[in-house]
């Protein structure tokens, strides 16, 4: 993987003194150059302003169809997400705290070892000084580099497109963290107590956004998406990319959307709009 | 046979394999033998560092009978399979379930670790459910004795979650999707179309 055009080393909090990122706190946006950020992506200039129209989309969102409990997932679905940066509030961290609440992770306050399942990033166009903020998490690639490099097979892609770590066989080598161009994974450095019963997590394993797989399997939406539409801008739309009738498919058909680092050809499941 | 097992039990290292033998023995008597073996073993155990396990075994006659830690603390109902089967096969069942859940997204209750924990929950002295760090935890009753160490509770909750709403404790109650109320896709789509293009009203 070449990562030179898209250096996130400062995002997510590297903690070095030369680092110019604003803050390591959850939800505080970090600076990434917009030009870097968009380099190679299928960026369409002049995003259509959808400010109120998208509210309708998000509220009518197409939640996962509840599958029968006993049936296995299948590749008929491909779960994805569309994030409208225009609707994402600058100082809003609703999605981040919803994720942390749902999955029981907390920032440790140590930027070098922090748990990051989802974070807010801020991208700035150096010429116009225009800033955009948006959440960034595992983008659930169709061709995930983390899966390619995993020596044990712990990093895997579910049939329905969700990229996960099987923490039962993860040995904590962290190759996947290096391979991920989005810096979406983190390592559990410290012992965890009082986990949520639906979200086991513990020391010695790499972890990342699961797209709230435990909720999707029950026909619910990821926690960040519900929280955003309930008490924030409604910037996140979740749905089945394989279903041409789903709201998300309809929207990406109609409007210009962006795959981050599209040049890498990973075909990500989480896409952006208006960045 | 019982004597032979007991004799082996005296040798610290041989304990584990002895138990394993009784476990894999296809005879139904296997489990019973294990129990008796365990009681005898506990009685002859001179290792004072294992006080807790011993104490619980002595103060709770029911637990002693079964050789495990659950006593009367099991949250009602019967085990998911006959006890004998559980003793022999619980590890295979949960590990199988684990893979079904991880890879196939199958989240039925049966043999899920969550389910074991919700039922095999033991209250400690403070009246709260104890964690696996406590030697009286159900899953440690046998494991400690036979030197099986599982890492499951590094990650998995080892006691039922204490939540304000207790709906999750009832496995029969389906949680409602918050989006169940906004399912009228067609109406939404129409409204959206008319908003965006103004041409959708005729589609009504």
Residue spans of the domains in chain A: they are 1-275
A6, A37 Cβ separation under 8 angstroms: yes
Has residue B185 got a pLDDT over 90?
A: no
A72: chain B residues, CB-CB within 8 Å = 100, 104-106
Quick one: closest CA in A to B183, which residue? A60
- The string of pLDDT tens digits covering residues A69-120 is 788 999 999 999 999 999 999 999 999 999 999 999 988 788 888 999 999 9
> Among A272, A263, A238, A258, which residue's Cα sits nearest to residue A161?
A238
* CA pseudo-torsion sign B132, B138, B143, B148: negative
**How far, in Å, CA of A77 to CA of A65, rounded?**
10
With beta carbons under 8 A apart, name residues in chain B contacting A56: 188, 191-192, 195
Q: Give residue A65's pLDDT.
A: 62
A101, A264 contact by CB (below 8 A): no
pLDDT for the residue B75: 67
Residue A175, φ and ψ in degrees, nearest 5: -55, -40
- For residue A170, the cross-strand partners are none
- Give Cα separations from A10 to A17, A112, A145 (angstroms): 11, 11, 21
Q: How far, rounded to the nearest angstrom, does the alpha carbon of residue B94 sit from its chain's CA centroid?
A: 8
Mean pLDDT of A133-153: 97
pLDDT attached to residue A70: 83
Judged against a pLDDT cut of 50, whether residue B42 lies above it is answered with no
Q: How confident is the model at residue B199 (pLDDT cuts 50, 70, 90)?
A: very low
Identify the band that residue A220 occupies on the pLDDT scale cut at 50, 70 and 90: very high
Q: If you average pLDDT over residues A220-241, what whole number do you get?
A: 96
What is the pLDDT confidence band of residue B55, given thresholds at 50, 70 and 90? very low
Of B70, B92, B87, the residue nearest B34 (C-alpha): B87
CA A240 to chain B, closest CA, distance in angstroms equals 15
Digit-coded pLDDT (tens) for B145-164: 899 999 999 999 999 987 54
More confident residue, A41 or B92: B92
Q: Which residues of chain B make contact with A219, given a CB cutoff of 8 A? A: 177
What is the fold, at CATH topology level, of the domain defined by A1-275?
Alpha-Beta Plaits (3.30.70)
The single-letter DSSP state of residue A249 is H
Cβ neighbours for B80, distance < 8 A, ≥ 6 positions apart = B86, B110, B111, B115
- pLDDT tens-place string over residues A194-203: 899 999 999 9
| Residue of A197, A215, A231 to mutate, testing the B interface (most B Cβ within 10 Å of its Cβ) | A197
Rounded to a whole number of angstroms, the distance between the first and last alpha carbons of chain B is: 81
Question: Quick check: B64 pLDDT over 90?
Answer: no
The rounded distance, in Å, linking the Cα atoms of B128 and A208 is 32
Residue A127: band (very low, low, confident or very high) from pLDDT cuts 50, 70, 90: very high
* Sequence-distant (≥ 6) Cβ neighbours of residue A23 within 8 angstroms: A13, A30
Is a pLDDT exceeding 80 seen at residue B70? no
Pair type for strands A186-187 and A270-273:
unpaired
pLDDT grade for B203, boundaries at 50, 70 and 90 = very low
Q: What is the mean pLDDT of residues B12-19?
A: 41
Name every residue whose Cβ is closer than 8 Å to that of residue B187 and which is 6 or more positions away in sequence. A60
| ipTM exceeds 0.95 | no
pLDDT band at A155 (very low <50, low <70, confident <90, very high): very high
Cβ(A48)–Cβ(A255) below 8 Å: yes
Q: Where are the alpha helices (DSSP H) in chain A?
A: 34-38, 53-59, 94-103, 145-149, 175-179, 213-216, 223-231, 247-254
pTM of the shown model: 0.74
What's the rounded Cα separation, in Å, for the pair A150 and A100?
26
Say if CB B75 and CB B115 are below 8 A apart.
no
Give residues 50 to 69 of A whose Cβ lies within 8 Å of B.
52-53, 56-57, 59-63, 66-67, 69
Give residue B101's Cα distance to chain centre: 15
8 Å CB contact between B138 and B69: yes
Arithmetic mean of pLDDT over chain A: 82
**Which of the four pLDDT bands, split at 50, 70 and 90, describes residue B22?**
very low
Asked if pLDDT for residue A8 goes beyond 60, the answer is no
CB contact under 8 A, B102 and A57: no
The lowest-confidence range among A156-170, A174-188, B50-64 is: B50-64
pLDDT digits (tens, 9 = 90+) for A41-56: 434 333 333 333 333 3
């Amino acid at each position: 993987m070449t990562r030179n055009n898209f250096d996130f080393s400062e995002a997510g909090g590297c903690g070095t003194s030369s680092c110019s990122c604003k803050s390591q706190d959850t939800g505080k946006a970090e600076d990434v150059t917009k030009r870097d950020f968009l380099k190679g992506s299928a960026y369409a200039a002049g995003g259509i302003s959808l400010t109120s129209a998208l509210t309708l989309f998000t509220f009518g969102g197409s939640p996962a169809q509840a599958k029968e409990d006993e049936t296995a997932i299948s590749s008929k679905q491909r779960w994805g997400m569309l994030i409208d940066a225009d609707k994402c509030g600058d100082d809003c961290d609703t999605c981040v705290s919803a994720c942390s609440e749902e999955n029981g992770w907390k920032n440790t306050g140590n930027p070098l070892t922090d748990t990051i399942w989802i974070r807010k990033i801020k991208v700035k166009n150096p010429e116009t000084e225009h800033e955009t903020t948006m959440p960034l998490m595992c983008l659930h690639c169709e061709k995930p580099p983390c899966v390619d490099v995993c020596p044990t097979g712990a990093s895997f892609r579910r049939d329905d497109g969700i990229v996960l770590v099987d923490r039962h066989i993860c040995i904590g080598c962290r190759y996947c963290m290096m391979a991920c161009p989005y810096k979406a994974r983190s390592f559990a450095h410290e012992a965890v107590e009082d986990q949520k019963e639906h979200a086991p997590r513990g020391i010695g394993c790499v972890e990342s956004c699961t797209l709230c797989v435990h909720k999707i399997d029950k026909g619910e939406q990821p926690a960040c998406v519900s929280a955003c539409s309930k008490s924030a801008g409604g910037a996140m739309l979740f749905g089945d990319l394989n279903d041409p009738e789903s709201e998300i498919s309809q929207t990406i058909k109609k409007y210009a959307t962006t795959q981050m680092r599209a040049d890498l050809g990973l075909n990500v499941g989480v896409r952006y709009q208006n960045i | 046979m019982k004597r032979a097992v007991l004799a082996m039990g005296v040798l610290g290292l041989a304990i584990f394999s002895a138990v394993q033998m009784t476990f894999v023995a296809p005879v139904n008597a296997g489990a019973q033998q294990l129990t008796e073996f365990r009681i005898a073993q506990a009685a002859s155990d001179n290792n004072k560092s294992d006080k807790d396990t011993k104490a619980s075994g002595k103060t709770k006659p029911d637990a002693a009978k079964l050789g495990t830690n659950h006593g009367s603390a099991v949250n009602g109902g019967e085990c998911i399979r006959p006890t004998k089967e559980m003793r022999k096969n619980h590890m295979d069942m949960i590990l199988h379930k684990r893979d079904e859940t991880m890879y196939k997204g199958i989240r039925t209750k049966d043999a899920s670790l969550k389910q074991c924990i919700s039922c095999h929950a033991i209250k400690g002295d403070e009246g709260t459910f104890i964690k696996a760090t406590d030697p009286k935890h159900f899953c440690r009753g046998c494991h400690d004795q036979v030197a099986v160490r599982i890492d499951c509770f590094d990650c998995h909750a080892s006691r039922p979650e204490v939540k304000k709403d207790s709906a999750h404790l009832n496995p029969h109650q389906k949680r409602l999707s918050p989006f169940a109320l906004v399912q009228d896709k067609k109406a939404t789509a129409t409204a959206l179309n008319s908003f965006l293009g103004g041409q959708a009203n005729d589609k009504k």
